[in-house]
């Protein structure tokens, strides 16, 4: 009997505003505990929240980018529960009337086909602080620097059918929020994380199985592992005669398993109601259109354009637009390289995907930390195009640029890698070789065509690979023919 | 010259301006009266004599150098619900009995800026929940007209302080009648402005959609004077309204000829004996003599105000008071065993029984399965009441009715009967639900105890309201009566 997995994700993306969603405190990460929490963040008696307009703009930007409906009227509500890192005893969130509804995101499946994941809603809310359970000798430390940091919670429909699909979706959203410049996407710092709702059902069944929610997954690897573990756990449970209980579960990365945190019965009744301290957020078309006008070219649009304009393979276009920074790097290269646009696009694609990403990967660097800048790479590719250096030697030049931090021209000069394109110089070398290899010459002339490669090799050997291969070919053919 | 405490705020302002007395002299006078009388009244939770005298000295300097405003040097008392920088701010609760606020409420800050002198912080019902000032952790406040009676609540301390002339004017807050009802019970002029007119920043929240700060004073003119500086947009309060504040004093003396006064049919029908309604009816006659016209209006849903209020206000309070958890400030229980123990004991020991009753009611009406039947329904009725008021103000300029169904009652008489206690606010709650400005002005006495006339106007019609009250006070002297003991 085979099983189908059903997954929905709730992604929390921290908005990259300078200040908090309802107060003027800084949102910068890593400050000493409780130094970025003012009276509003601390929930002092009498203080009131004031909405950060920037956070609204970012949420709208997201909504427009996923083709969603942006609500002209949305309402903040209070989600009531007690916890020490929740200073007011309630979290300000949006409940019945979120700012974004009915969006979608396409993901690429392994078989190359694409699938649409529906986005139910995305709402604005404030983050809680952090409880620190270590190092306090039986006490719990509270750091409220994060309290009040703006988030959008992006809720999908249960449209994903495998952990891989969930990861693909999460990655697409991750790429998008960084393109939009509304979230730094830093998963280690918790700026981008998700809760996964996972259930299983018999293939062909109409009703969804009972779901479990796995909280706070903050790496793509953990998401895949946690979901796969949870799916196996649920199937095993049902097949051995048990039933899945609706639960909130935590993933333990050290053990690679999920464990129960609380059951449905223990769940809080959050007693949501509209926050009387905040007015409804009312947006007019002018405001929304103004934000629409600031949208950058989105990753999917960009990839389609690369395929259409430059005949790039879809795979290459996908890789090159997979992050905003890689796309920017690539586009900077093709804008600066001289020569035929289509040829350059393909040339640059090969170099960025091959040499640059390879070197970054090897050295554990991010594209923004690349030791060879887009401009420097463009110059090197121009040197290939203008025949200053051969494609083969250019790789050697690139390696030297990477390790020495110098420009292509300096490396070519210093290493003497400049291609020999002077006809008389090449002819002179050919004459010498013909003189020194009279037997091979005779054989060639009597019909042993394969010996042509021998002569090419000789020329390259003597010129240390610097002779222009096309010229060598042409000149050799003429001279050998006699 | 009359004794300083018998003068109105406007008269005191004139005296300071003409250098008839200094702010330090004036402040000393009131401080000595507090010293003399507050032990029996219990109107103040905190008196700040040193701070007051320092502020008074600063004010005298401003007056001397010609940099004074209209309010510079005038003493006042703040209800202990307003946060005051560096000064104990308790909300009359054990929960905040150790809370020194690190900041000033916007209202406090603005009046400080004007150079007013704070005498201290007045007693109130705990977290403003009550109509008799008996729920205070600091004990009941006595009514200066009869020390065996309540002064009303929740701004009972402010009411008693001004009525006994131990403060010339005081701030109050009004969520369901907490300025108007005590004003009525102590023969004061009290104004609750339009919701959004006065910033709520730093005013410890009871029910955020209903709370509004206002003034308790000796006359409409005094109320106008203080409100002028309290009102206005505050970027720290999203619900404050960005609208210019008119010059209230400028329109006080406008003629009332042709004024249309609506009499709320439902309020004159409800359980009021001819005897009890007499002072109010006489006041209406005075208005007729001033050229006003009386029109009966009906607001059929208004009698639902009390049940509506007792869903909405507790719902909001149950959430607003969650921040008092013993973690960051305020009362914390002794040696908590764990987190749950810290929460339950800190809150269980820190809150009084009326506050707990409302938190429990509010938690209940917001709970899953009950929300629609209670909270949502109450919001619908609230909307209907608001619409009925709006329709009434299409026909009339102001509405008039009694402020309170009874005069001041005995201390202890209603403490064990919350429903009877809640009915005290039957006439006042409507204005809070609809966010309308409303006043109570003295209009007579029954068996030696003051009676108040309530006047309600349309949104942001404070100037009209003050004008209507002032017109009456120009031809009557109820507002000038003083309890003999404190004359």
pLDDT at B485: 95
CA distance A39 to chain B (A): 9
Query: What six digits make up the tokens of A274?
Result: 């509209």
**Which residue blocks in A241-373 are alpha helix, DSSP H?**
285-292, 299-310, 314-320, 324-336, 341-351, 357-363
CA distance A49 to chain B (A): 7
* Strand intervals (E) in A161-203: 192-202
**Is A48's CB within 8 Å of B201's CB?**
yes
Mutate to test the interface with B, among A39, A48, A143, A282 (most CBs of B within 10 A): A48
- Give the pLDDT confidence of A145-188 residue by residue, as tens digits: 999 999 999 999 999 999 999 999 999 999 999 999 999 999 99
**Is A46's CB within 8 Å of B101's CB?**
yes
B363–A contact, CB cutoff 8 A? yes
**Is B105's CB within 8 Å of A271's CB?**
no
CA distance A60 to chain B (A): 21
- Listed by start position, the domains of chain A span 3-291, 299-415, 423-481
Q: From CA B350, how far away is CA B343, in angstroms rounded? A: 10
Contacts of B105 in chain A (CB under 8 A): 46
- Give the pLDDT confidence of A232-291 residue by residue, as tens digits: 999 999 999 999 999 999 999 899 899 998 887 777 899 999 999 999 999 999 999 999
Contacts (Cβ under 8 Å, ≥6 apart) of A442:
none
- Give the pLDDT confidence of A76-122 residue by residue, as tens digits: 999 999 999 999 999 999 999 999 999 999 998 888 788 999 999 99
DSSP B425: G
- pLDDT tops 90 at residue B380: yes
Contact at 8 Å (CB) between A479 and A455? Answer: no
ipTM: 0.96
Contacts of A51 in chain B (CB under 8 A): 238
pLDDT at A459: 86
Torsion of CA B252, B255, B256, B259, to 10 degrees: -110
Contact at 8 Å (CB) between B392 and B399? Answer: yes
Contacts of A89 in chain B (CB under 8 A): 319, 321-323, 325
Q: From CA A182, how far away is CA A59, in angstroms rounded? A: 8
Using CA of residue B305, residue B310, residue B311, residue B317, what is the dihedral sign?
positive
Mean pLDDT of chain B: 96
Burial-class residue B64 by CB neighbours within 10 Å (0-12, 13-18, 19+). Answer: exposed
The residue in chain A having the minimum alpha-carbon distance to the alpha carbon of residue B89 is A45
Give the mean model confidence (pLDDT) for residues A9-28: 96
Q: From CA B358, how far away is CA B447, in angstroms rounded? A: 34
B276–A contact, CB cutoff 8 A? no
- Give the pLDDT confidence of B59-109 residue by residue, as tens digits: 999 999 999 999 999 999 999 999 999 999 999 999 999 999 999 999 999
Give the mean model confidence (pLDDT) for residues B440-454: 97
Query: Residue A143: phi, psi to the nearest 5?
Result: -115, 115
- pLDDT tops 90 at residue A421: no
Nearest to B208 among A43, A45, A277 (CB): A277
CA distance A44 to chain B (A): 8
**Is A48's CB within 8 Å of B105's CB?**
no
Nearest to B323 among A89, A142, A278 (CB): A89
CA distance A51 to chain B (A): 8
Q: From CA B126, how far away is CA B80, in angstroms rounded? A: 10
Nearest to A80 among B96, B101, B319 (CB): B319
User: Which H helix or E strand runs over B279?
Assistant: helix B274-289
Mean pLDDT of chain A: 91
Mutate to test the interface with B, among A45, A87, A91, A264 (most CBs of B within 10 A): A45
Give the mean model confidence (pLDDT) for residues A288-312: 93
**Residues of B labelled as active-site residues:** 79, 154, 178
pLDDT at B270: 64
**Which residue blocks in A180-284 are alpha helix, DSSP H?**
220-239
**Is A50's CB within 8 Å of B235's CB?**
yes
Give the mean model confidence (pLDDT) for residues B179-193: 98
Contacts of B207 in chain A (CB under 8 A): 276
Query: What six digits make up the tokens of B354?
Result: 């009326």
Nearest to B209 among A44, A45, A276 (CB): A276
Contacts of A49 in chain B (CB under 8 A): 238
Contacts of A140 in chain B (CB under 8 A): 339
Long-range contacts of A409-412 (CB under 8 A, 24+ apart): A409/A379, A409/A383, A412/A383, A412/A388
**Is A271's CB within 8 Å of B367's CB?**
yes
Contacts of A50 in chain B (CB under 8 A): 235-238
- pLDDT tops 70 at residue B271: no
B7–A contact, CB cutoff 8 A? no
- pLDDT tops 60 at residue A328: yes
pLDDT at A416: 75
B106–A contact, CB cutoff 8 A? no
Does domain A423-481 bear CATH number 2.40.37.10? no
B367–A contact, CB cutoff 8 A? yes
Residue B274 binned pLDDT confidence (cut-offs 50, 70, 90): confident
- Give the pLDDT confidence of B205-263 residue by residue, as tens digits: 999 999 999 999 999 999 999 999 999 999 999 999 999 999 999 999 999 999 999 99
Contacts (Cβ under 8 Å, ≥6 apart) of A164:
A110, A224
CA distance B40 to chain A (A): 30
Contacts of A269 in chain B (CB under 8 A): 367-368
Nearest to B367 among A42, A43, A269 (CB): A269
pLDDT at B330: 96
Residue A339 binned pLDDT confidence (cut-offs 50, 70, 90): confident
CB pairs under 8 A between A and B: 97
| DSSP one-letter string for A213-229 | EEEEE-SHHHHHHHHHH
- Give the pLDDT confidence of B344-370 residue by residue, as tens digits: 999 999 999 999 999 999 999 999 999
pLDDT at A441: 85
Give the mean model confidence (pLDDT) for residues B407-420: 90
B171–A contact, CB cutoff 8 A? no
Query: Residue A476: phi, psi to the nearest 5?
Result: -60, -45
As a 3-state breakdown, chain A gives helix, strand, coil percent values, each rounded to 5, of 40, 20, 40
Taking phi over 0 as left and psi of -120 to 50 as alpha, with beta for the rest, B145 belongs to alpha
Does domain B4-258+397-486 bear CATH number 3.90.1300.10? yes
Q: From CA B235, how far away is CA A53, in angstroms rounded? A: 13
Contact at 8 Å (CB) between A438 and A408? Answer: no
Q: Give the Cβ contact number of residue B288 at 10 Å.
A: 14
User: Which H helix or E strand runs over A419?
Assistant: none
User: Which H helix or E strand runs over A378?
Assistant: helix A374-385
B331–A contact, CB cutoff 8 A? no
- pLDDT tops 90 at residue B273: no
Give the mean model confidence (pLDDT) for residues A466-470: 82
Q: From CA A272, how far away is CA A173, in angstroms rounded? A: 28
- Listed by start position, the domains of chain B span 4-258+397-486, 303-378
Give the mean model confidence (pLDDT) for residues A360-379: 91
Give the mean model confidence (pLDDT) for residues B404-411: 94
pLDDT at B1: 53
The residue in chain A having the minimum alpha-carbon distance to the alpha carbon of residue B364 is A271
pLDDT at A123: 98
pLDDT at A1: 63
Q: From CA B116, how far away is CA B119, in angstroms rounded? A: 10
pLDDT at A388: 82
**Is B96's CB within 8 Å of A45's CB?**
yes
**Is B238's CB within 8 Å of A279's CB?**
yes
Nearest to A87 among B201, B204, B328 (CB): B328
Among B302, B314, B468, residue whose Cα is nearest residue B398? B468
**Is A279's CB within 8 Å of B239's CB?**
yes
């Amino acid at each position: 009997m085979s099983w189908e997995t059903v997954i929905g994700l709730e992604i929390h993306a921290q908005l990259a505003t300078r200040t908090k969603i309802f107060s003027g405190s800084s949102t910068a990460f890593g400050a000493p505990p409780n130094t970025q929490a003012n009276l509003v963040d601390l929930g002092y008696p009498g203080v009131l929240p004031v909405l950060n307009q920037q956070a609204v703009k970012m949420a709208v930007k997201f909504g427009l980018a996923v083709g969603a409906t942006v609500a002209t009227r949305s309402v903040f509500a209070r989600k009531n529960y007690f916890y020490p890192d929740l200073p007011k005893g309630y979290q300000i969130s949006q409940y019945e009337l979120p700012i974004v509804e009915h969006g979608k995101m396409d993901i690429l499946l392994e078989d190359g086909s694409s699938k649409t994941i529906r986005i139910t809603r995305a709402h604005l809310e404030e983050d809680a602080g952090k409880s620190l359970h270590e190092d306090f000798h039986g006490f719990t430390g509270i750091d409220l620097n994060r309290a009040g940091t703006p988030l959008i919670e992006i809720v999908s429909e249960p449209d994903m059918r495998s952990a891989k699909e969930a990861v693909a979706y999460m990655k697409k959203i991750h790429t998008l929020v960084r393109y939009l410049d509304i979230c730094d996407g830093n998963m280690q710092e918790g700026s981008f994380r998700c809760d996964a709702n996972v259930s299983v059902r018999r293939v062909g069944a109409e009703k969804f199985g009972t779901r479990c929610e796995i909280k706070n997954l903050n790496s793509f690897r953990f998401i895949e592992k946690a979901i796969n573990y949870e799916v196996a756990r649920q199937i095993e449970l049902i097949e051995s005669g048990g039933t899945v209980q609706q639960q909130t579960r935590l993933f333990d990365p050290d053990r690679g398993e999920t464990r129960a945190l609380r059951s449905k019965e223990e769940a809080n009744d959050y007693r949501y109601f509209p926050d009387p301290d905040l007015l409804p957020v009312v947006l007019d078309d002018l405001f929304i259109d103004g934000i629409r006008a600031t949208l950058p070219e989105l990753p999917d649009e960009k990839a389609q354009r690369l395929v259409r304009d430059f005949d790039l393979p879809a795979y290459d276009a996908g890789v090159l637009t997979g992050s905003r920074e890689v796309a920017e790097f690539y586009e900077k290269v093709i804008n600066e390289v001289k020569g035929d646009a289509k040829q350059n696009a393909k040339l640059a694609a090969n170099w960025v995907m091959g040499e640059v990403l390879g070197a970054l990967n090897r050295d554990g660097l991010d594209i923004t930390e690349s030791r060879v800048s887009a401009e420097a790479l463009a110059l090197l590719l121009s040197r290939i195009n203008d025949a200053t250096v051969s494609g083969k030697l250019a790789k050697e030049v690139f390696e030297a640029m990477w390790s020495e931090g110098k420009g292509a021209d300096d490396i070519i000069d210093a290493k003497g890698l400049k291609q020999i394109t002077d006809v008389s110089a090449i002819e002179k070398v050919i004459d010498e070789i013909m003189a020194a290899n009279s037997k091979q010459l005779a054989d060639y002339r009597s019909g042993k065509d394969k010996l042509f490669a021998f002569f090419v090799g000789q020329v390259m050997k003597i010129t240390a690979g610097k002779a222009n291969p096309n010229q060598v070919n042409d000149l050799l053919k003429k001279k050998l023919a006699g | 010259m009359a004794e300083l405490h018998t003068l109105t705020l406007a008269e005191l302002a004139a005296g300071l301006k003409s250098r008839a007395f200094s702010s330090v002299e004036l402040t000393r006078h009131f401080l000595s009266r507090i010293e003399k009388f507050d032990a029996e009244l219990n109107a103040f939770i905190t008196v700040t004599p040193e701070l007051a005298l320092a502020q008074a000295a600063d004010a005298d300097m401003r007056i001397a150098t010609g940099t004074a405003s209209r309010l510079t040097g005038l003493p006042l008392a703040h209800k202990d619900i307003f946060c005051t920088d560096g000064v104990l701010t308790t909300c009359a609760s054990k929960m905040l009995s150790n809370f020194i606020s690190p900041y000033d409420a916007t209202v406090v800050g603005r009046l400080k800026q004007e150079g007013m002198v704070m005498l201290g912080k007045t007693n109130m019902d705990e977290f403003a929940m009550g109509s008799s000032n008996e729920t205070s952790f600091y004990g009941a406040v006595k009514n200066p007209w009869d020390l065996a009676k309540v002064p009303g609540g929740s701004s009972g301390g402010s009411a008693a302080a001004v009525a006994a002339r131990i403060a010339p004017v005081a701030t109050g807050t009004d969520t369901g009648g907490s300025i108007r009802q005590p004003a009525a019970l102590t023969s004061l002029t009290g104004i609750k402005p339009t919701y959004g007119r006065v910033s709520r920043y730093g005013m410890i929240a009871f029910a955020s959609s209903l709370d509004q700060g206002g003034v308790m004073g000796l006359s409409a003119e005094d109320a106008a004077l203080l409100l002028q500086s309290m009102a206005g947009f505050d970027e720290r309060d999203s619900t404050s309204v960005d609208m210019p504040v008119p010059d209230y004093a400028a329109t006080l003396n406008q003629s009332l000829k042709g004024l249309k006064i609506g009499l709320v049919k439902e309020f004159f029908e409800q359980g009021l004996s001819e005897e009890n309604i007499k002072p109010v009816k006489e006041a209406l006659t005075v208005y007729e003599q001033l050229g006003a016209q009386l029109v009966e209006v009906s607001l059929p849903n208004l009698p639902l105000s009390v049940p509506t209020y007792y869903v909405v206000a507790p719902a909001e309070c149950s959430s607003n008071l969650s921040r008092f958890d013993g973690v960051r400030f305020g009362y914390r229980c002794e040696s908590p065993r764990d987190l749950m123990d810290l929460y339950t004991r800190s809150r269980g020991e820190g809150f009084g029984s009326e506050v707990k009753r409302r938190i429990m009611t509010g938690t209940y009406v917001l709970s899953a399965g009950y929300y629609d039947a209670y909270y949502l329904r109450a919001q619908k009725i609230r909307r209907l009441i608001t619409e009925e008021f709006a329709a009434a103000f299409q026909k009339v300029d102001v509405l008039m009715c009694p402020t309170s169904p009874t005069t001041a009652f005995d201390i202890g008489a209603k403490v064990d009967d919350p429903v009877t206690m809640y009915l005290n606010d039957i006439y006042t709650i409507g204005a809070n639900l609809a966010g309308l400005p409303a006043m109570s002005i003295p209009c007579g006495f029954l068996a030696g105890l003051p009676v108040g006339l309530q006047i309600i106007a349309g949104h942001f019609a404070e100037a009209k309201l003050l004008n209507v009250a002032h017109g009456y006070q120009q031809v009557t002297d109820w507002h000038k009566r003083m309890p003999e003991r404190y004359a």
